[in-house]
Amino acid sequence: MTDTARTVLLLNGPNLNLLGTRDPAQYGTTTLAEVERRVVALGGELGVEVVCAQTNSEGGMVDRIHAARHFAGVVMNPGAYAHYSIALRDAVDAVEAPVVEVHISNVYAREEFRHTSVTAPVAAGYVAGCGVLGYELGLRAVLARDAERRS
Judged by DSSP in three states, 89 sits in helix
Where in 17-76 is the site for ligand DQA (CB under 6 A)?
Answer: none
Where in 75-114 is the site for ligand DQA (CB under 6 A)?
Answer: 77, 79-80, 103-105, 107, 114
Residue 27 among the catalytic residues: yes
Q: Which is nearer to ligand DQA, 41 or 109 (CB)?
A: 109
**Number of C-beta neighbours around residue 21 at 10 A:** 9
Q: Which is nearer to ligand DQA, 18 or 46 (CB)?
A: 18
| Shortest Å, Cβ 4 to ligand DQA | 26
| Shortest Å, Cβ 80 to ligand DQA | 3
Judged by DSSP in three states, 74 sits in strand
| Shortest Å, Cβ 115 to ligand DQA | 10
Q: Is 37 annotated as a binding residue?
A: no
Helix (H) or strand (E) holding 53: strand 49-54
Helix (H) or strand (E) holding 14: none
Whole-angstrom Cα distance, residue 135 to residue 75? 7
Largest distance between two CA atoms of the chain = 45
Judged by DSSP in three states, 12 sits in strand
Q: Is 115 annotated as a binding residue?
A: no
Please answer whether residues 124 and 142 qualify as being in contact, where contact means their C-beta atoms are separated by less than 8 angstroms: yes
| Shortest Å, Cβ 147 to ligand DQA | 26
Strands 49-54 and 7-12: parallel
Q: Residue count at the site for ligand DQA (CB under 6 A)?
A: 9
| Site of interaction with ligand DQA (CB under 6 A) | 15, 77, 79-80, 103-105, 107, 114
Going by the annotation, the residues of the binding site for substrate are 77, 83, 90, 104-105, 114
Active site residues: 27, 103
Annotated binding residues, written as ranges, equal 77, 83, 90, 104-105, 114
